Chains A and B, each alone.
Chain A
Amino acid sequence: MRDASTISLTIDSRPTMVPQGTTLLDAARSLRIAIPTLCQVPSLPAQPGCRVCLVQVAQDGAVHLRTACSTPVTEGMEVLTEAEEAVNARTFVLEMLLADHPVDCLPEERGGRCELHALAKRHHLFSGSRFARQRAPFPIDDSHPLIRMDLNRCILCRRCVRACGEIQGHHVLGIAERGDRSVVIADDGKPLGESTCVSCGECVAYCPTGALAEKGPAWNEEVGAHQAITTICPYCGCGCQLDLHVKDGQVVTVGSNFDGPANRGSLCAKGRFGFQFIHSPDRLTMPLILEGSGFREATWEEALDLVAAGLREIAARHGADAIGVAASAKATNEENYLLQKLARAVLGTNNVDHCARLCHAPTGTALLSAFGSPAGTNSFADLEEAEALLVVGSNTTEQHPIAALPMKRLVARGVPLIVIDPRRIELARLATVHLAIRPGTDLAVLNGMAHVILEEGLWDRTFVQDRTEGFEAMQETARRYPPEVAASIAGIDPELLRRAARLYATRRPASIYYTMGVTQHTSGHQTVLALANLALLTGNLGKPGAGINPLRGQNNVQGACDMGALPDALPGYQSLDDPNVRERFESVWGRPVPKRPGLALTQILGRERQGAIRGLYLVGENALLAEPDMTETEAVLRSLDLLVVQDLFLTETARLAHVVLPAASFAEKDGTFTNTERRVQRIRKAVEPPGQAMADWQIVCALSRRLGTPMMYGHPGEIMAEIARLVPIYGGISYDRLESVSLQWPCPHRDHPGTPVLYANRFPRGRGRFHPVEWLPPDEVPDSDFPFVLTTGRTLFQYHTGTMSRRSDGLHLLEPEPYIEVNPIDADRLGAREGQKVAVVTRRGQIVAKTRVEAGTPPGVIFTTFHFSEAPANRLTNPALDPVALIPEFKVCAARLEPLNG
């Protein structure tokens, strides 16, 4: 059907109809006519500087040359892309550019990616330019550990500048000088390695000539043809699609994939440069068995027989509930499904959990209580529609850099940003209002905001009336948190709190994003409920640009939860108590499903219940470094009768195991990951696993055979088919569909397009529920012996316990060693200089690292990361648990600082 918004035109005499607003370039592309471009960045408005895409446009008797990238189609246009005048103009431009372009850049067929080279070839321009080189050669800037800057190749298309500024929001790259003296610079002309570059490599992805290129072979040597395999990043939960470029069985580089629905080609330093761990010489290649004081290599048969025998013996002696299975947020959905099936259907216990316990357990428990479903409500794409943004306890630009991109774009267009975080993080610097609260006081502040919204009548009466329950009780509690009270608990200005509340409540839609700063507290569950209260109160649910969105820390932590790697829920958050549900699982599995909820990971590894678990099968989890109070964790792990660790590396935890099983990495297997937006995406095998390493799903299948209940699958796609049968929210998901699209659950049937925004019409539990929530101080507060609050987190260039990121050279170079952030006032008082070693002591232990004097960390607070085994933050942390979500309070414990000499 033809309507007013459709334009008809001809391109190279071929008639076509395209929607109004389409550019000539895209209209031509839809006819598979490739108009050359050099400066175009598809996701940004055209700034047609290169002038290569000039085409001839005839309309109403007039003939003009127009840049195809910037010219919208109009009715009746006749476009000739190869008209003589257009080709001449284009050739002239190329000739000019080639004059200064070195001939050492590599053409495509030799593995190079130089777009200018390719265009020159197309226009038969290698007989030589009429113009001689006129620029003096630039020295190559090799100062950055990952990116090489060779301005001799630069054609000043400015794609790097736009990628850095307009896409990634860093604004590090710019142009200095003007005219033919124009030159790309970092900051005010610093060497790239000394600039404020955050190494996201977006410039590298957009550079058409390799002037900015990753170090290594891709641009600089003849590497021949690569094969590009599209898969998903294995680091955080953003779910960025990327291409692994493979040559001779090795991943040689990571390329942007601009079709990625979550990231549209953007990556952060970890995604783009953190892949070398795949081919690390440290990879486990054989099963290992503890013998005497050391490991010896073993065959799979021997190792699996030993594991099976050990587990059987424990079950026989202590019962099935003496066995625990730790699944993995790094493994695929299919593998997590099999791990919980192994626990429930093969071993007969619900003692299965995974590291979501340490990050978003309160998200699960609280959002389930409030809405009936435990996941984030919205998508990155619709965040762009928000009119206000509230970010709580999330250092988004460092932990979820790609989720931070739409946030920074909102700020750039003037949308108010409210940040609640003790530290003056990058987002806080961009914020309209930054509430720099004392750690552990978020709940009081959120209640205070509810108070203001209620008192000033800024709430959405219709929404509250039509779609919620429990309002009165919540109101009652919120009344006890007037801004002055809440602000004094949090140590902030009550006026700022009022402003934050008003901005959030009056600009609609408004979106909430949060992470560990909210959840990793003994009050984590309650604090997430307080966020849900705010969203319910303002009707910010069920629409684009609104919602409440936990950012997931691991690539597949959402999926591991979805797959039922939880002690109290079957896959798809289905109730262990529901007889109908149990019956369906039992009929498919052919085995009874144990009824009693199992133990959480923190209970399995906590001192309180030590002895309850005798055997632990730990998959893809470096528990020793990741769990709170390392001393306690180590004691528990050492006390087990059988510890089986399945991992890529001999991690600190694996060193304590009786049997170590070598697993395949994400690059070596097929499967699916589910990102923080509930987006199920395919990962694809790019290379073979090293030695005898196998995919987790294959290992679990092999183990199940030895345990007498064989699970037989030929391919992860078959496992997904079983998941779709049993898990309604995954009901419509299949590998066939995932080949071409990603799907956001709930996706109940094969024709369902997935659900980008939850709760448009109703909540799974019917009405959204308000909860009255009271603030309680953290479990351990500073005193005269331990006067500081220690808070822990991550840094941009490292990841979790460092098993992957520290084995990726580039990332390691960017952040090689542990550090303790101390406010300048405290540093001065204690006499700790920048770089000086300092001991951090808590009631549980001490670590030593270098001082980093950081004004963004408030006085009285110290910060460190948990990436470094040589200064393990979790030797210090408090294992006190949230009573509902069973998450430890990583974010607050009392500490003291002791500067050391040297």
Chain B
Amino acid sequence: MSEKVLTKRFEISGYRGTIEEYLATGGYQAIPRALKEYSPESLIDLVRRSGLRGRGGAGFPTGVKWGFVPKDPTLTKYLVCNADESEPGTFKDRDLITRDPHQLLEGIILASYAIGCRTAYIYLRGEFVAGAVIMEQAIQDAAAHGFLGNNILGSGFNLKVHLHRGAGAYICGEETALLESLEGKRGLPRLKPPFPASAGLYRLPTVVNNVETLCNLPHIVLRGAEWFSSIGSPKSTGNRIFSVSGHVRRPGNYELPMDVPMRELIFQHAGGMRGDRRLKAVIPGGSSVPVLTEQHLDTRMDFESLAKAGSMAGSGGVMVMDDSTCMVRAGEIVARFYHHESCGQCTQCREGTAWLHKTLRRIEAGRGRKVDMDLLMDICDNMKGKTICPLSDAAAMPIESYLKYFGDEFEQHIVERACPFGSGGGS
């Protein structure tokens, strides 16, 4: 059994994540340590050596991202914690925020110190009402204890943290749309380059890090880069929290080494298939990634292995479907989501998400036409790699994979003019 790091305190009975509890369990020890033992540059180097990669979806190496921030001390820099967790099937950040908010704050303080940031923002998903209350309290308590504010622990380092609540748009989890939204504008993704590290919030150097990414920092500072990189695979180091949902016996968050095999995750930790039905499909990294099947069960969950299997590690949301599932219906639901969430900026995505949804809906309702499968493939093909942000790809790739692995099922819908699973209700 591997050691839990990020969710270790969740197991303490009655732990509510107050600052007293956090302090009593070794919390906030990384800050004096970092302020004393590390210069900002050496802290960046530590994180680079740890191999920590972003847990939001793209898996970019955190230390490298920090290294892109200009060192010019006269430039204002911002750290933004992306807590807009909205990827369907993903619910790990919500737990980290509500159950151990100070772990996140400690990570934010460390990251801010490393990049020279004096004002940090937490962009919190609007629906996380409880999280907002908890986080506000945590910020106040941390300030009262001298971990935030001016001259933190007598080091001369100042930091303010502001909580900003989103207003319910999935696209604001995309970092540049998030920054637009944080500036008070419509959440439309920006053209990159420039990347946020050079021109982010208010066009100033900005690092945007995911909640889970930041939560790893105190542990890396306290236990070292070598300890961290010894967990997982060489390129996917550390633990990751997998949010397992769907037709398993014990859905929930599981913190495991990055390279845990999918079979172990589903059948051991999540308790296996509900009712011992046959596993039909697994979405391994949130709704945006291509689906995998039974044949991929021995794939490990690290970035490289999943990519090799034709999917992505994404946000760690593992959705498991058994053989009672209609894959057309599943595709329709995913397509409905992206149709609803496309910002509308790029034509392919704005119109394409609508047409994917519409076409899938009619196939599922038994009104599909022979040409519709080609049409779906053509729409998907034209949505990929041609837009400002990856939402369009995220909408197209899963549907493509459903067609790839479950094309027969689609055909059956069209030929039989009905859903063989009897679920053609439409949405």
Residues of A bordering B, CB below 8 Å: 46-52, 54, 64-65, 70, 88-89, 92-93, 96-97, 99, 130-131, 134, 155-156, 158, 174-175, 177-182
Contact = CB atoms under 8 A, between A and B. Distances in A.
Nearest to A91: B382
A156 B351 CA distance: 11
A158 B388 CA distance: 15
A88 B341 contact: no
B249 interface: no
A89 B339 contact: no
A49 B388 contact: yes
Nearest to B355: A131
B375 interface: yes
Q: 7 closest Cβ contacts across the A-B interface?
A: A182-B344, A96-B351, A179-B342, A180-B354, A92-B382, A49-B345, A93-B347
20 contacts: A47-B191, A48-B388, A70-B191, A89-B348, A92-B378, A93-B348, A97-B351, A131-B351, A156-B344, A156-B350, A178-B169, A178-B341, A178-B342, A179-B340, A179-B341, A180-B342, A180-B344, A180-B353, A180-B354, A182-B350
B358 interface: yes
A449 B339 CA distance: 59
Nearest to B392: A51
Given A179-B340, A180-B339, 4 more contacts: A47-B345, A96-B347, A99-B351, A158-B345
Given A46-B191, A130-B375, A179-B340, A54 B351 contact: no
B343 interface: yes
Contacts of A93: 347-348, 382
B194 to A, nearest CB: 11
Nearest to B169: A178
A96 B392 CA distance: 15
Interface string B312-352: 00000000000000000000000000011111111110111
Listed residue (A47, A93, A155, A178) with the most chain B CB atoms within 10 angstroms of its CB = A178
B385 interface: yes
B387 interface: yes
Contacts of A88: 382
Contacts of A158: 345
Given A70-B191, A134-B358, A178-B169, A54 B344 contact: no
Nearest to B340: A179
B101 to A, nearest CB: 31
A123 to B, nearest CB: 14
Interface in B169-211: 169, 171, 186, 191
A845 to B, nearest CB: 51
Contacts of A179: 339-344, 350, 353-354
Contacts of A70: 191
A220 B193 CA distance: 41
A177 B187 CA distance: 11
Q: How large is the interface on B (under 10, 10 to 19, 20 to 34, 35 or more residues)?
A: 20 to 34
B167 to A, nearest CB: 11
B347 A49 contact: yes
Given A70-B191, A92-B348, A51 B343 contact: no
Contacts of A50: 346-347
A400 B41 CA distance: 53
Contacts of B352: 96
B386 interface: yes
A97 B341 CA distance: 19
Contacts of B186: 174-175
B343 A178 contact: yes
A51 B348 contact: yes
Contacts of B350: 156, 179-180, 182
A764 B186 CA distance: 52
Given A70-B191, A134-B358, A51 B347 contact: yes
A451 to B, nearest CB: 34
Contacts of B191: 46-48, 70
A66 B347 CA distance: 15
Contact of A89 (B171, B353, B386, B388): B386
A178 B347 contact: no
A179 B188 CA distance: 11
Contacts of A156: 344, 347, 350
Contacts of A54: 386
Contacts of B342: 178-180
A175 B382 contact: no
A175 B344 contact: yes
A188 to B, nearest CB: 14
Nearest to B339: A179
Nearest to B359: A131
B216 to A, nearest CB: 33
A749 to B, nearest CB: 45
Contacts of B353: 179-180
A179 B347 CA distance: 9
A152 to B, nearest CB: 15
A133 B339 CA distance: 16
A129 to B, nearest CB: 10
Nearest to B352: A96
A155 B345 CA distance: 11
Contacts of B375: 130
Contacts of A174: 186
Contacts of A64: 385
A182 B345 CA distance: 9
B391 to A, nearest CB: 10
Interface string B356-375: 00100000000000000001
Interface string B374-418: 010010001001111000000000000000000000000000000
Contacts of B354: 134, 179-180
Nearest to B358: A134
A181 B353 CA distance: 12
Listed residue (B186, B191, B341) with the most chain A CB atoms within 10 angstroms of its CB = B191
Listed residue (A47, A54, A155) with the most chain B CB atoms within 10 angstroms of its CB = A47
Contacts of A178: 169, 171, 341-344
A628 B342 CA distance: 61
A182 B351 CA distance: 11
B91 to A, nearest CB: 24
Nearest to A131: B355
A672 to B, nearest CB: 42
Listed residue (A47, A54, A96, A134) with the most chain B CB atoms within 10 angstroms of its CB = A96
A105 B371 CA distance: 30
A321 B388 CA distance: 73
Contacts of B351: 96-97, 99, 131, 180
A65 B375 CA distance: 21
Contacts of B339: 179-180
B230 to A, nearest CB: 35
Contacts of B340: 179
A846 B177 CA distance: 59
Given A97-B351, A178-B169, A51 B358 contact: no
Contact of B386 (A51, A99, A130, A180): A51
Nearest to A174: B186
Interface in B289-306: none
A89 B382 contact: yes
Listed residue (B346, B347, B354, B375) with the most chain A CB atoms within 10 angstroms of its CB = B347
A834 to B, nearest CB: 33
Given A46-B191, A179-B341, A51 B355 contact: no
Nearest to B190: A47
Contacts of A99: 351
A46 B388 CA distance: 11
B346 A51 contact: yes
B289 to A, nearest CB: 21
A686 to B, nearest CB: 38
Contacts of B382: 88-89, 92-93
Nearest to B338: A179
A54 B347 CA distance: 12
A54 B348 CA distance: 12
Contact of A51 (B341, B378, B387): B387
B133 to A, nearest CB: 28
